[in-house]
Structures are given as structure tokens and as C-alpha cells.
Structure 1
Amino acid sequence: MHVPGAGPAPAPTEAQLLDFVHETAADAALIASLPLDPEGRTWLRLNGPGGSEAWIISWPPGTGTGWHDHGGSYGAFATARGRLTEQSLAARLPAEGWKTLELADGVDRERQLTAGRGRAFGAHHVHQVLNETEEEHAVSVHAYYPPLPLMRRYSRTGALLRLEQVERPGEWD
């Protein structure tokens, strides 16, 4: 337990972030407080454990993030309502110095995350999250540490991954 005034709180672990997103996803009143928009994603920013950044995010049918990373932050997310698909890469990408990479065979992973299911991920995680349903709105909870310094967005055509954009805090709030 951190004592106020005793210096900065220790960084949360991936397991602590996963516990936080599961507990928050189970808070029905908090999840219901997020307004849902049929046209686009909505979000609510939260204070996560140990100075982490956290969000509740809604996903109308057919929406997704596109391929991205979290700028070196590690984190966790859990589905609170509906079903999300996570597609990820089981490969560590170089942080800088490239614009296009050819991915090796066998690096693709896919998970279905229904209400109550979540996962933690490391600092070099590249993925996209999708609500592939045609009728059901999904809601999820996400936490990152350190707070996101940037997000890199990628496009993908087959085995080719291309860095398209680097977003900084304030560009996604």
C-alpha cells in the first residue's frame, strides 16, 4: 500500500492493470454512464491505478481502431459489454527507423473477448480491436502505463505493415 507523501506510487504491474480493467468493466453503473453514439466511438477518461491512464470506450457495430501500438506503454483491456475481436502481431517491431515492414508468416493472432474477458499486453504490443457485430454495441475498459506518450498507427496489406501516422496526447482526447 502506498502512503501519501512518501514519494511517487510504484508503477502498476500488467496484472494490476488487468485487475483494474476487470473490476471497472464489472461496475454496471459506471459502464452505463458512458453515452453511446450509433455513429462513432465515445469514451470516458478515468484515473487508473498508480498513475496509469484509463478509458471506457464504446464500439458501435462495425467499428474498430485500425492497427496501432501504444508508444512503449504496457496495459490491459477488458470487454464490459458485447464482443470484441483483437487481432495482434506476435512480433516485436523496431521502434524507429522504418516505414514499411514485411511480416513473417505465423505472426498473426486473434482473440474473441466477450463481456468479462480481458487481457494484458506488453510495451511492444501491436494490434487492432474490432466490433465485428452488425447490431450490438460493445463497451470496453483500457488502462496503460506509463500514460500514453504517443500512438503509432499502421496500415496493413497482406504481409506488409506500413507506419502511417504518429499521434501525440491531445490528438485523441
Structure 2
Amino acid sequence: MRLAKATALLKIARFGVGYAAAVFAGVMGIWATMEISDALTYGRLPLFILVFPESILTTLRLTLDVLPATLLLAAPFTLLATWILVRQHWNRWWHFAIAGAACPLTGIVLLQLATWGRFFHHNEAAIALLLMPTGMISALVYWLIAFRSSEVAA
């Protein structure tokens, strides 16, 4: 009984750490995407190249600021996607990568439906396409931490 409880707590802890790491990777990816976009637009080096160690700390602070909002808004969808993937026996890394790539697309579609199309005033398809690699990387980070060790054990 105690071993089962400890195993369940360890699995929940892995999911939690995986989710926090995925949020960090997502914040880093969004920030890098915006910096690269600005660098191409304004013809300068991306700021994260100029101040790399400080940018990691800034992103870590931003992740801690953003984490409560993501727990409220994104965690239910992450849990639903995880439940569906595991229920369908889709637990390989590329299953999670595909789900992560679909995240920006579905998020933008849901926001557009919820606000009757008033949320985005610029080209939201371009934004979603730019964020697809970030979603994939975040999902891979989540899979590595939450699922990889249990897959190796099996």
C-alpha cells in the first residue's frame, strides 16, 4: 500500500515538474520567436544573444510569474491531452510533439470562438505557425520528464 502511494506521488511529481519545465520552454520559445522577429524587422541582433546568462534568469522569473495563469488556463487542456494520449496508448515522443504543435492552433481558434473573433487584430495564422515549434519543444520537454523514465522502466 505504501509503495503504491509513493509510486503515485512520484508520478504526480514528475507530471508537475514536467509541466513547469514545459512552461519554461514555452516562455523561452515565445520570447526567442519575438526577439528573432524583431531582429529581422529592425535589422539588429536578437537581445538574447547580447545578454544570454541574464536572459535565462529573466525568463525564469517570467515563468514563475506566468505559471499561475498557465495552471488556470492551460493545465486543464494539458491534462485532457495527456489523458487522451495515454488512453489511446499514444505515449511516444512524436505523439506529444504533434499535440504540442497543435496547441497554438487550437488555442487561437478557441480564443477566436470565445471572443467572437475580436481577440486578434493581426494575422493570427502566422502567429500560430511561428509558435508551433515552441509547442513541439514544450511538449517534448514535458514528455521527457513526465513519461520517459516510466517508459524506460517498462
TM range (shorter): under 0.3
Which of the pair is proportionally richer in helix?
2
Q: What TM-score results when the alignment is normalised by the length of structure 1?
A: 0.22
Higher strand share: 1
Q: TM-score, normalised by structure 2?
A: 0.24
- Larger Cα-atom Rg: 2
